[in-house]
Structures are given as C-alpha cells and as structure tokens.
Structure 1
C-alpha cells in the first residue's frame, strides 16, 4: 500500500514487534505492568489489546487499553500524529465516544521507539489508548435506526472539528497526495495494475474517468472541513440500547482509528460512511438513504454535493478495493485482513454501475426524503 502521506508504497514498513518486546515497552515507556496481551487486526500499523496495572498483581487500577504502534512512514510525522491524538481528546471532551491517550513517564502522548536492535532498525511511534467496549458494526445486522445514527454522528463529528478544534499543527492535515483522501481518486491510475485485465479494472477506470470529469471541477464548490476519513464498519463500535432481539436499537459506543484524518469536505464523510456500511448490508443500495438522512438532519447537503454523492461513493469503493489488491501483493501474509472489503465490495460497486447513477440516487433521495427535512437539535 502507499504510505499514508504520499504514493511510494515501498516506503512503508508495518511494525512486527513480538509480544515479549511489547510487554517490556509498555513497562519502560508508560510505567505499567501487562497482565495479558492479545494482537488486534490492522491494515498497516500494529495494534494490541492489553490489560495493564501499576503493579505486578494488578491490584492497583487494572485497565484494558490498546497499544498502537504506527507504521514506519507515518511515524516520521510526529506533528500529524499529535494533531490526530489531540483531535481524539477534543472529541472525547465534546462527548463523542473516542479514545484518549495514557501519558508516558515523561508526560507525553506518544513515544518514538526502535523496532529492533539490528542495523537499519526502523522507528515506530507508540501510543497507549483507552479501550472502547462495543461490537463493530461489521458484526451486526444493521437496521435503518443505526444507519441513521451513524450518518448523524458523521455530520456532528465533522461539524465539531470544523467549528471548535484548534491546534498549532492543524495545517499538517492538509495532506496533499494522501492516497486515502477522497479527492485523490485519480491517483489510483498507478495502482490499477494490481487488478489485472478484467471487468473490475474496466469499472474502476470508468470511475476514475467520471470522477476526473464530473467531481474534480466541483471540489471548490463543496464545503470544506476536517474529515475523520475512515468511518468504516470496523471503526465504529455499537452496543444495544434495547432488549428486543426482534427490533434492536443500537447506539454508537466507540469511534476508532483517526490515522486517516485530513482536510476534505463534509460530503466526503457521508460518502465514505455510506460505502463501508453497504459492505455487509442485506440491502446495500438502500443504505445510502438512511445514512444521508441522518447526516442531513445536522448538515443538509447542497445540490452540488448531492450530485457528486454517487461518484464519491464509487470512488471510495475503488480506493478501498484497488489499494487492498495492491497492498496484498506486497504483504501477502496480511491478505485475509486486507481483502475483507473485497468479499462483497466488488459486487456492490458493479451493481451500482449496473443499476445506474440516476436510479441509485433516486432510491437514496427518496429514502432520505421520507425522514422529513427537519433539523435535529
């Protein structure tokens, strides 16, 4: 995969620390004892679910947390990681269910650590974050209620960041050629070879062409903001707020992984959420209407933004599927995790183009319209 900040895939090194080294690191850097440790799946970082305490027997404040070891390329941008971490803290203070960092022994939110002791050893930024309970949306049967709530959450989150979040290094979120920014769909040209010559390649080429012709010229008319950038079905945790198994009511209990944060546009966030929530849905083409209704209860889209939604969702499908295929060529040992989206993603993208933009948009806008045009408080 490309580095998270430019398009040089060979530059990225995913951390591969052994559990014994991780236990020692948590003690040395954070002054905490690990009572148990479990690896967590990840795209290009290394994550562990750990239980820590102030002493060996766990009698003093045992707590579950997540150790996040950032890949070698992103670790070279401490200001960017610091802004992302401060954004998480800001959102937590604003009432959003985001994690907060444990401070190091030196009172910092993160520490740059060597991966090993050999020659040419890579350095990785390490953070210890509070653990957020809940079930990933990917593991539940979504219903209109939770799709609406996630859409609403996406709008509230971006609005809070745009209107209230300030930090001296916030300019680092202008990430230029960052491959995961939705404005950079045209950068997929250089990775499309990973698909081979087939029907998938043809539809992605069509997406890129239409994106360049119809979306890029309109970007300046979209309303700018800071995007979380990765509100996918594994980064949103929920718990059940009702006891009825026939009609479960969910609430969002956690927002994970702020490493794709960048300056973008409000419409990017809703498009990204729609795309990922389609992945496991039993009614994928209906998802957009419910997510859009929730989003527009806080931030109604302009006609220009609504008109770009189909190609933005298609563009994110293309980014996810092409970059995953490219990354799997370079990191075959992580292929199973990398290709999660591909299991149904290609089917959904092909279906969108088979049905056509006009029909898909009509479905989305009809569903969203049925909620009414009122703004929630």
Structure 2
C-alpha cells in the first residue's frame, strides 16, 4: 500500500495553497487505514488532514459529508469537512511516497473536535458503567437522527468482512488465529451466523449508520459529567462527541449497535468491569432513545461475537502481514477479544440477551 511521505513544509504548502490556512504545527495520528495529520493554524484553530490510502468513492464521500452535516444541524458534536478555496470538500494530489515512488492521494480536511476518547480516558469500573449508559442513549439519538438524513444511500466496500453481514468471509482469515480452541469457537459462531442470521437479513432495518461507533471514536468532551451521572439528551449533545466517519455507509442498524457493545466490552476488560454489565448498560440506554425490533434483538448476540471475532482475526492478520504496522496500536482493542469470545461462548445467545433485557 502506497503511503505519502509528509513533512511540515509539505503540509504547510497544501493547507496554504488549497485551504488558505497558515499552519504552525502538525502531528501524525495513528490509523488502521488512512494517513491522519493533526494541524494547528496560526489562529490556533485545529484541523485533521486525512489522506485516503484505500479506494476512494466519490458517492460514499458525498454521503458521509451529508451525514456529518445532518448531525451537526441536529446539535451533535461531530467533525465536518473544510471546503477548499474552490469550494470542494475533497481534493487529490500527486505525492512522494515513503517507499520512494509517487502516487495520487485523495484527501479531506476536517474540523478537529477536541476531547479524549473513551479508550484514552482510562475509566474505573464504576465510571465505565455510567459512561456505557450515556453512550447507549447517545447512540440511539445518533441513529434516530440519521434515519432522517437526506441524500443517496451509497454502499461502500460491500465485500468487506468488517461489515457484519459478511461474517462468513472471516473463514479465510482464521489461519492467523493460532489458538486452536479460539479458532474452533469462531468457526462455530460463523456456522451459527449462517443459520440464525443470514436468513433473517431481509427482516432487519437498514439506514445510514456510523459504521464504527466505538470506544476509540466516542469523545468524552466533559469527562466529569459523563462518568458520574446519567445525562439528559440535551446534556449528551453538549458533553459527548463522535468522530471518524470513515466506515459510514447504508447498513444494518442493529449491527452498528453490536459494534458499539463489542468494543465497550473490551473496555470492560481493561477497566476490570463486568463485560455483560457494561453491555447491558449500553443496550438499555440505546433502547431508551431508539427501540430495536424483536428480529433485531434476536441477532444482537451474533452481531457482537462477529465483531469481536473479526477484530481479533483481522488484527492478527495485519500484524503478521504488515511489517510497518504498530502491533500495540493494532491490538489495543483486539487483544481483549479472545477472553470475551470465550465468555460469550460459555454464556450462549439466549442467556446473554435475557440478562441484557432483564430489569
């Protein structure tokens, strides 16, 4: 994969000539896919310059811009694209690469939203339970707002195994799962998914979804309030934010919630909290703002284990095949997944969902 070679001088040239901004400071942010550079302007404004390293789909980019704008108009704290001097939301540029070649890269500049993510906030077990309820409500509010988002329903990366409906495709990656007991558990979950979920896909609602509503993309703008109190919807709009719409698409609503629960459960492992208790708080909060159908609740368990399995297996693949990746960054969430997959295997779908929905 070609990666642009960035320097302060080059970033200053790009921002000045294309955005009419004087940049005084830059810092590279880690990312699975894109090349992200935080920048600070001469006027102390903060932005994120995002270079796209994968295939760039104009229709998808326009849809994501529409989603962010629609959420902003609804009071949500989200990034938004800064238009170029010619009025465009994205631009392309031929650049030198780290491997000595040249390539053309699309890029966007986004308004930076300050705040620490849940992952960066190192919550205690008690704090995480409160955060989880607030995150659930906020996620339901977010999805409710996205139901009314105008614009095209662009599909992107339909074959991506990161899309839960494609969970069966993970079989091709299981070679990288060295723990044979864990591999067997994942294979069993894939078999169950094909029988219990795939035939039901036509009954599940689709809408514009964030695609990666998780602990690394949810901002605690006011850490004190979010970790200590169950907040009103008005307070949540002020004290929480969400970033990174790079996986946004028109997809299954319940699977987006499953992604959130899966990653909040990895935070539970880090915080020595009860993963099932954290999952329950997220779901109860979400249902408070945005009810799920019975069919959606029936597939929630499988959606959660699908993301946990995908996160771990794909993480192992990336580490094994990409010598330039940072293993600590890649495994920051996925290293918790084996413990959770074994927990979910022992608990089972019926008992898990019953626990989450119990009063």
TM-score norm. by structure 2 comes to 0.88
Label 1:114 to 1:313 Cα distance change in 2 as closer, same or farther (>3 A).
Answer: same
Counterpart for residue 342 of structure 2: 350
* Conservation of the 8 A alpha-carbon contact between 2:204 and 2:295: yes
2:297 aligned with 1:309: no
How much does 1:119 deviate? 8.7
Match of 2:247 among 255, 260, 264: 260
2:228 aligned with 1:237: no
* Conservation of the 8 A alpha-carbon contact between 1:155 and 1:266: no
Matches within 5 A, 1:50-199: 50-52=39-41, 58=42, 61-71=43-53, 73-75=54-56, 77-116=57-96, 121-138=102-119, 139-141=121-123, 142-163=127-148, 165-167=149-151, 170-173=152-155, 175-196=157-178, 198-199=180-181
2:11 aligned with 1:22: yes
Label 1:13 to 1:231 Cα distance change in 2 as closer, same or farther (>3 A).
Answer: farther
Counterpart for residue 265 of structure 2: 278
How much does 1:174 deviate? 5.6
How much does 1:115 deviate? 2.7
* Conservation of the 8 A alpha-carbon contact between 1:241 and 1:248: no
* Conservation of the 8 A alpha-carbon contact between 1:191 and 1:322: yes
2:320 aligned with 1:333: no
How much does 1:291 deviate? 1.0
Report Cα offsets for 1:111-144 as digits up to 9, x if no partner: 1122318996322221111111111111231433
2:300 aligned with 1:300: no
Aligned counterparts of 1:308 and 1:273: Cα–Cα separation in 2: 15
Counterpart for residue 3 of structure 1: none
Aligned counterparts of 1:159 and 1:199: Cα–Cα separation in 2: 40
* Conservation of the 8 A alpha-carbon contact between 2:193 and 2:302: yes
Aligned counterparts of 2:337 and 2:297: Cα–Cα separation in 1: 22
Label 1:345 to 1:20 Cα distance change in 2 as closer, same or farther (>3 A).
Answer: farther
Greater helix fraction, Structure 1 or Structure 2: 2
Label 1:157 to 1:29 Cα distance change in 2 as closer, same or farther (>3 A).
Answer: same
Aligned counterparts of 1:244 and 1:322: Cα–Cα separation in 2: 32
Label 1:189 to 1:51 Cα distance change in 2 as closer, same or farther (>3 A).
Answer: same
Counterpart for residue 28 of structure 2: 39
**What are the ranges of 5 or more consecutive residues in structure 2 without an aligned counterpart?**
none
Aligned counterparts of 2:59 and 2:107: Cα–Cα separation in 1: 14
TM-score norm. by structure 1 comes to 0.84
Label 1:16 to 1:285 Cα distance change in 2 as closer, same or farther (>3 A).
Answer: farther
How much does 1:16 deviate? 4.4
Aligned counterparts of 2:177 and 2:353: Cα–Cα separation in 1: 28
Aligned counterparts of 1:209 and 1:233: Cα–Cα separation in 2: 28
Label 1:355 to 1:35 Cα distance change in 2 as closer, same or farther (>3 A).
Answer: same
Label 1:186 to 1:123 Cα distance change in 2 as closer, same or farther (>3 A).
Answer: same
How much does 1:276 deviate? 0.7
* Conservation of the 8 A alpha-carbon contact between 1:289 and 1:364: yes
